Amino acid sequence: MVTSHSVATARPPGAASRRRGAVLERAILEAALEQLSTVGWNGLTMEGVAVGAQTGKAAVYRRWSSKEDLVADALRSALPALGEAPDHGNVREDLHQLCRRVRAAMYSKPGFALRAVIHECDGETSERFQALILTGVTDPSKRLLREVVERGVERGEVRADAPGDLVYDVIPAMMMYRAKVCGSEWSDVEIVEMIDQVMVPLLRS
């Protein structure tokens, strides 16, 4: 005779708590971010993501037909927001606080994941992520820099002809370059040096 107890013990481990729907999707997206931040784009596999999410490979493929689609959704769901532009009464301090936020975003798990995509994808693949990078990273950071600089112009700290797209590219470009090429983790000292030696002279009234 089969008892309810014997049926329960015959179930596969974890069957009673099997995840579905949004809970399972979140676990898969988090596993994709973990893979990206540890083994990078080239090392990420759908099978590895399934293992990390403690689910079957079929559950991943039912939701995302390709690695590119999965990674795009994982990044889109997790990229940290930079918030509002800081306003401490002077452009130097505002830039300092903003750079600290950018550093925190760069060294978050989604930040590591995004850098893996940027630096490891070939040209054709990276084109699929350009809109995501623009809307999720580049545009928000440049918007905050623009607010900080334009507020500095209003206070007379920044010369009126200083604002421009190239100026707004300086901080993100330097931080990304030195993190990738020089292995910099952007200590507080390095941030201050960048602001005092590069940005303040560049903007000075």
pLDDT tens digits, 136-163: 888 899 999 999 999 999 999 999 999 9
Rounded to whole angstroms, the Cα distance separating 66 from 204 reads: 49
* Band of residue 129 on the pLDDT scale cut at 50, 70, 90: confident
> What's the mean pLDDT in 152-175?
93
* Band of residue 18 on the pLDDT scale cut at 50, 70, 90: low
Compute the C-alpha angle 24/108/77, nearest 5°. Answer: 40
Category of 121 on φ-ψ map: left (φ > 0), alpha (ψ -120 to 50) or beta: beta
Sequence-distant (≥ 6) Cβ neighbours of residue 16 within 8 angstroms = none
Q: Which amino acid is at 119?
A: H
CB atoms within 10 A of CB 101: 16
Taking the alpha carbons at both ends of the chain, their separation in whole angstroms is: 89
The answer to whether 187 and 106 have CB atoms below 8 angstroms apart is: no
Helix axes 165-181, 109-120, angle to 10 degrees: 90
Mean per-residue pLDDT of the chain: 87
Q: What share of the chain is helix, strand, coil (3-state, %, to 5)?
A: 75, 0, 25
